[in-house]
């Protein structure tokens, strides 16, 4: 039996408990203490990151909704807005990967339709330990199954994503899910409660004990060897229940029935109600005896902090309750009036006629203790070198095969073939066909298309937090540029270790500075996001992993190029300000090294390069555009050959590189391969012709020669072989 004080068991410090007593003017009762513990947790309050996040630019000409709402939204013209957000479900997925990942998708879908947008796409960013680990294979396999189960069942396509494998994620995997939605600008809704006397209505699934303590126990603390004991705190998802809830909410919004709408995520009723009250500067009364329960005998505090899935909270005028109930009945969605809007400025919880909790809304949401980070640049190495898998002097032929067969570079078909990427009939480019997914808008009264991408590389951020974060933004923007899209807005999920440790605080601070500077240089506002801290286990912290999701617009989806070589005779060229280096590269990892720095990035030059690439793609005529990323130029060429099942003859001597390993496998921002008719390629500013498409071999003059079929076998078979 624990001997800790109750507030300490709930993750509160002694000083925080004293602050609660001061704000209440008395000792909290059990329910109030439970609610405060969640609302003051890192996951809900952002108490170690909120001050830092204020540095990010949040304004731009396309921004319709910025940080603070359930999801951000940008204007895409024709009266339409695109809503999007990325969030983490890391610790739940490390404990129960199928339900952890599935409910991560369910939660991010609710964030998007909570502002009135219909979800049209999901992307995911995943991190696991190396695939030679049984645990990592299990987590990867079942997380992918969970994502596929929820997205496929509810009918929202999973159109993109990324998966990387590193030793630091062995005990603490990362499952970040991004949702994109579409709405008419005049049909969006915010979450601020208003109108004294208006009713508070809970819609959706019954409330059970699943998820109790999830936000505080799992997402705001380090995982330990006993993490399996936390399995009951992982929520259970039901995508079919959410599909009904989604359609019901969108119909209610279309009819103008609702005053405000909020999803129930972390901390359940506690956070959704108090945040709605805070935004509307009102109070709320809730009667937990009116909450439909899945389990008998639930205590009032359990009802308030349950994180049961597929629930939404709305505010309506009393005269429209019968209309709401009729629509909910038609969609087979449970709906119960559980409270009302007041002018008390308090969140008051009743159990029938008994008042069981009375808390100032400001104390729960606005007057949360915020901490100043104490960053300190480490003097020694934070992470061990990865295990060596090839010798430093290995010939380039062996290095290419090793890279194509490595888990980070190899095809992720194993994952994306489990996802329906075309349901909804708006997907122009699937995950395997282009660097960014492309979704058409024509069927919704719009014109053109949007492109979406999600990126991040924790190992490079571990090597240099500032530059690695800059590169994450540039990589995402470059993926959009490869399909001709101009960025409109950015969302992020900051996955880091314990911010109370000076070296983690330094990583977080430098990474946010990198995100800020890159966004300012590219003119891309941050419209929302999520922070996931305390990603640590017994072996230490994960690599610092800022994940960036970006949405852009393009005028003509019909001319979007693919990443594959498509036609013999096309000319191949390298474009962009690309200066490769082995620091932080996949080749360096295979050689058993982790750098402690990355080459600096000239953001002005990179911004110019992205604009030039985007205009080149929009100019038409390019059949192939593929960015150079993990594995460098050689791997990018191999991927384009394998995807198109056609060879290429290339000469790298025009690049003037003195070290063939750097020329072939060096990495860094800015580079893209293009292919098309000579007349098109030759007019591109700064393009360096490298060769031609054709044959059935990838030949790089004087360096290597491989049959495309052999490359395909290595590239496409590596991850399935890990499960053989």
Distance CA 397, CA 357 (A): 69
Beta bridge partners of 650: 691, 700
The catalytically annotated residue of 43, 48, 91, 149 is 43
The catalytically annotated residue of 89, 91, 503, 626 is 89
Q: Where are the alpha helices (DSSP H) in 114-222?
A: 134-154
Low-confidence stretches of the chain (pLDDT beneath 70): 1-3, 213-233, 431
Catalytic site residue 570? no
Q: Which of these, 462, 630, 464, 475, lies nearest to 549 by C-alpha position?
A: 475
Helical (H) or strand (E) element with 113: helix 97-113
pLDDT at 231: 43
Q: Measure Cα distances from 708 to 19, 568, 645 in Å.
A: 66, 14, 7
| Segments making up each domain of the chain, as ranges | 1-40+189-366
Catalytic site residue 43? yes
**In sequence order, what DSSP letters do the residues of 306-346 get, joined into one string?**
---SSEEEEEE-GGGHHHHHHHHHHTT--EEEEEEEESSSE
Q: Measure Cα distances from 657 to 406, 664, 666, 675 in Å.
A: 25, 9, 11, 22
Provide the b/e sequence for 472-490 (b: ≥16 CB within 10 Å). Answer: bbbbbbbbbbbbbbbbbbb
pLDDT at 19: 97
Instruction: Note the pLDDT tens digit of each residue in 386-403.
Output: 999 999 999 999 999 999
**Tokens representing 543?**
């690599």
pLDDT at 416: 92
Angle, CA 211 vertex, CA 108 and CA 229 arms, to 5°: 125
CB 73 within 8 A of CB 184: no
Distance CA 339, CA 348 (A): 10
CB 234 within 8 A of CB 95: yes
pLDDT at 167: 96
Q: Which fold has domain 1-40+189-366?
A: Phosphoribosyl-aminoimidazole Synthetase; Chain A, domain 2 (3.90.650)
């Amino acid at each position: 039996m624990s001997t800790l004080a109750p507030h300490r068991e709930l993750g509160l410090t002694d000083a925080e408990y004293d602050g609660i007593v001061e704000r209440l003017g008395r000792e909290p009762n059990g329910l109030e203490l439970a609610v405060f513990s969640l609302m003051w947790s890192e996951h809900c309050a952002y108490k170690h990151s909120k001050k830092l996040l204020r540095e990010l630019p949040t304004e731009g000409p396309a921004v319709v909704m910025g940080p603070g709402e359930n999801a951000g939204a940008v204007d895409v013209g024709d009266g339409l807005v695109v809503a999007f957000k990325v969030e983490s479900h890391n610790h739940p997925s490390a404990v129960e990967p199928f339900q952890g990942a599935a409910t991560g998708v369910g939660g991010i879908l609710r964030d998007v339709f909570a502002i009135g947008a219909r979800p049209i796409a999901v992307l995911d960013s995943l991190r696991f330990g190396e695939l030679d680990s049984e645990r990592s294979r299990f987590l990867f396999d079942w997380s992918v199954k969970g994502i596929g189960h929820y997205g496929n069942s509810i009918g929202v396509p999973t159109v993109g994503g990324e998966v990387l494998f590193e030793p630091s994620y062995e005990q603490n995997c990362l499952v970040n899910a991004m949702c994109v939605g579409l709405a008419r600008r005049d049909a969006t809704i915010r979450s601020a409660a208003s109108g004294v006397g208006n009713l508070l209505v809970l819609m959706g699934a019954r409330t059970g004990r699943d998820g109790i303590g999830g936000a505080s126990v799992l997402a705001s603390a380090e995982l330990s060897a006993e993490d399996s004991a936390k399995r009951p705190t992982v929520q259970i998802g039901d995508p079919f229940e959410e599909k009904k809830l989604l359609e019901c909410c969108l119909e209610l919004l279309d009819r103008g029935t609702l005053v405000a709408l909020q999803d129930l995520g972390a901390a359940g009723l506690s956070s959704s109600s108090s945040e709605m009250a805070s935004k509307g500067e009102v109070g709320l009364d809730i009667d937990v005896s009116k909450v439909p329960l899945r389990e008998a005998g639930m205590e009032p505090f359990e009802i308030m902090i349950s994180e049961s899935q597929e629930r939404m909270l709305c505010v309506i005028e009393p005269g429209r309750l019968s209309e709401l109930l009729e629509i909910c009945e038609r969609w087979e969605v449970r709906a119960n009036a559980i409270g009302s809007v007041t002018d008390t400025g308090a969140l008051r919880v009743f159990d029938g006629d008994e008042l069981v909790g009375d808390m100032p809304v400001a104390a729960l949401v606005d007057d949360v203790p915020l901490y100043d980070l104490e960053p300190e640049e480490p003097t020694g190495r934070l992470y061990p070198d990865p295990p060596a898998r090839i010798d430093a002097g290995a010939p380039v032929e062996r290095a290419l095969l090793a890279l194509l067969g490595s888990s980070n570079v190899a095809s992720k078909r194993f994952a994306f073939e489990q996802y329906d990427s075309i349901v909804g009939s708006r997907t122009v480019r699937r995950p395997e066909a282009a660097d960014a997914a492309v979704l058409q808008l024509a069927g919704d009264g719009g014109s053109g298309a949007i492109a979406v991408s999600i990126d991040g590389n924790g190992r490079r951020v571990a090597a240099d937090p500032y530059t690695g974060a800059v590169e994450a933004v540039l990589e995402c923007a470059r993926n959009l540029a490869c399909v001709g899209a101009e960025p409109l807005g950015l969302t992020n999920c900051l996955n880091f270790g314990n911010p109370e440790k000076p070296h983690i605080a330094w990583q977080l601070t430098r990474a946010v500075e990198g995100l800020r500077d890159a966004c300012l240089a590219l003119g891309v506002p941050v419209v929302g996001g999520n922070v996931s801290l305390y990603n640590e286990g017994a072996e230490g912290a994960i690599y610092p992993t800022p994940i960036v999701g970006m949405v852009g617009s393009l005028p003509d989806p019909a001319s979007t190029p693919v990443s594959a070589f498509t036609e013999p005779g096309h000319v191949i060229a390298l474009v962009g300000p690309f200066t490769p280096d082995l620091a932080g590269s996949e080749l360096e990892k295979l050689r058993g090294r982790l750098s402690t720095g990355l080459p600096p990035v000239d953001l002005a030059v990179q911004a110019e390069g992205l604009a030039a690439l985007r205009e080149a793609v929009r100019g038409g005529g390019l059949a192939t555009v593929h960015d150079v990323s993990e594995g460098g130029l050689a791997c990018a060429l191999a991927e384009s050959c394998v995807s198109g099942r056609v060879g290429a003859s290339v000469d790298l001597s025009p690049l003037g590189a003195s070290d063939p390993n750097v020329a072939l496998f060096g990495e860094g921002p800015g580079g893209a391969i293009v292919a098309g008719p000579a007349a098109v390629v030759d007019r591109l500013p700064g393009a360096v012709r490298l060769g031609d498409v054709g044959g059935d071999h990838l030949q790089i003059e004087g360096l290597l020669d491989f049959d495309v079929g052999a490359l395909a076998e290595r590239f496409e078979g590596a991850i399935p072989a890990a499960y053989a």
